[in-house]
């Protein structure tokens, strides 16, 4: 049970795992805010960060399409690193929700599932 909430629960040992066959290209996870929030960027633990072994066994997003409630999008390219990545947006966005869609993935050594452990906004 790797539900969407697990990508936003503050715990890198839990994760959202897309649930389709293959690397999950086109699958997405969304977060809804209580009202409108200004977003300058986000920090992401792309991949399964429960431990380094699981990180490399599972697929990790290499590219995400980030869609904001105002309809704007940004394409984000991620490094294949077992570490947090801080992503600054090209400009601040006022959003009621944000959707992250997997547009590319680094393949896991054992599992095709693409995983995101944690996303937080700033």
Gap between the Cα atoms of 70 and 59, Å rounded: 30
**pLDDT tens per residue, range 59-103:** 999 999 999 999 999 999 999 999 999 999 999 999 999 999 999
The pLDDT of residue 9 is 96
In 3-state terms the chain splits into helix, strand, coil percentages (rounded to 5) of 10, 55, 35
Compute how many other C-beta atoms are within 10 angstroms of the C-beta atom of residue 82: 15
Q: Which residues partner with 95 through β-bridges?
A: 37
Q: What is the pTM of this model?
A: 0.95
Average pLDDT score, the chain: 97
Contact criterion met (CB below 8 Å) for 102 and 28: yes
Which sign does the torsion angle of CA 3, 13, 44, 64 carry? negative
């Amino acid at each position: 049970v790797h539900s969407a909430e697990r990508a936003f629960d503050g715990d890198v040992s839990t994760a959202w795992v897309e649930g389709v066959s293959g690397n999950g290209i086109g699958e997405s996870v969304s977060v809804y805010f209580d009202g409108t929030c200004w977003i300058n960027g986000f920090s992401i633990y792309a991949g399964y960060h429960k431990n380094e072994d699981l990180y490399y066994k599972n697929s990790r997003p290499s590219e995400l399409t980030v869609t904001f409630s105002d309809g704007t999008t940004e394409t984000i390219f991620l490094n294949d690193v077992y570490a947090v990545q801080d992503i600054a947006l090209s400009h601040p966005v006022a959003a009621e929700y944000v959707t992250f869609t997997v547009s590319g993935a680094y393949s896991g050594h054992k599992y095709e599932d693409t995983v995101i452990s944690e996303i937080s906004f700033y």
